[in-house]
Amino acid sequence: MRILKVLFLCILPFGVAGYAVVAYTLFPAGALVHPDMAATFQANWLGIYLHVFGAALALVLGPFQFATNLRALHPRVHRWMGRAYLGIGVLIGGGAGLYMAVLAFGGIVSKVGFACLAIGWLYTGLRALVAIRRGTIAAHQRWMVRNYGLTLAAVTLRLYLPLSGIAGIPFEAAYPAIAWLCWVPNLFVAEWLLKRHLYV
């Protein structure tokens, strides 16, 4: 369990965020995506950049929000990182993600899948914010677990894409399924962790 925790709370989020920053600062929008998606990325570069860099910030800040020692010893740092996570990462990244969902490759299945992800990301972030503003710390923590599970869709999506290619599944068939698989199982895992109090 500890190995999986380190993998999904440190190594993979930082790796995906680092890749995103490099890919979208050193290369034009759409340069490193599937050719069928490149034109949409190029035509909507602002939405892509807001989504990618917002999500990358959330990926990097998220693990620190679950660090018990940081919360206990440096509560002000925890609060400011939380504001950046929710206010920039989730709000801007999620809002741009909802916009880009309308343009997603793969037809209505992909569009609805990514739109539900963006709405769920924004909603759980709002619930976490409302909870902490009311002083209900336990509820805040639970909503943050769900929210970061959705943040990790950026990781699981990038795991499923190469795996589907290795399995020989055509991209146009795999992508609509991955639009749902990248986040729905994450929520089930989040609920499993919550029931067993394994998130702190």
State the DSSP string of 123-179: HHHHHHHHHHHTT-HHHHHHHHHHHHHHHTHHHHHHHHHHHHHHTT--HHHHHHHHH
The length of the chain, given as a count of residues: 200
Check whether 1 has a pLDDT greater than 90: no
Q: Each residue of 109-134: b (16+ CB within 10 Å) or e?
A: ebbebbbbbbebbbebbbbbbebbee
Rg, Å, the chain Cα set:
17
Q: Where are the domains of the chain?
A: 2-195
Q: Which two tokens stand for residue 123?
A: 């909603």
- The residue with tokens 């190995």 is 3
Percent of the chain with pLDDT over 90: 82
Q: Which two tokens stand for residue 173?
A: 């068939």
Vertex 180 angle, CA 179 and 186, to 5°? 120
Check whether 6 has a pLDDT greater than 70: no
Segment 167-187, tens digit of pLDDT: 999 999 999 999 999 999 999
Check whether 200 has a pLDDT greater than 70: no
Query: What pLDDT sits at residue 79?
Result: 95
Report DSSP state, residue 33: S
Q: Which two tokens stand for residue 192?
A: 């499993």
Check whether 4 has a pLDDT greater than 80: no
Query: What pLDDT sits at residue 197?
Result: 79
Averaged confidence pLDDT in the chain: 93
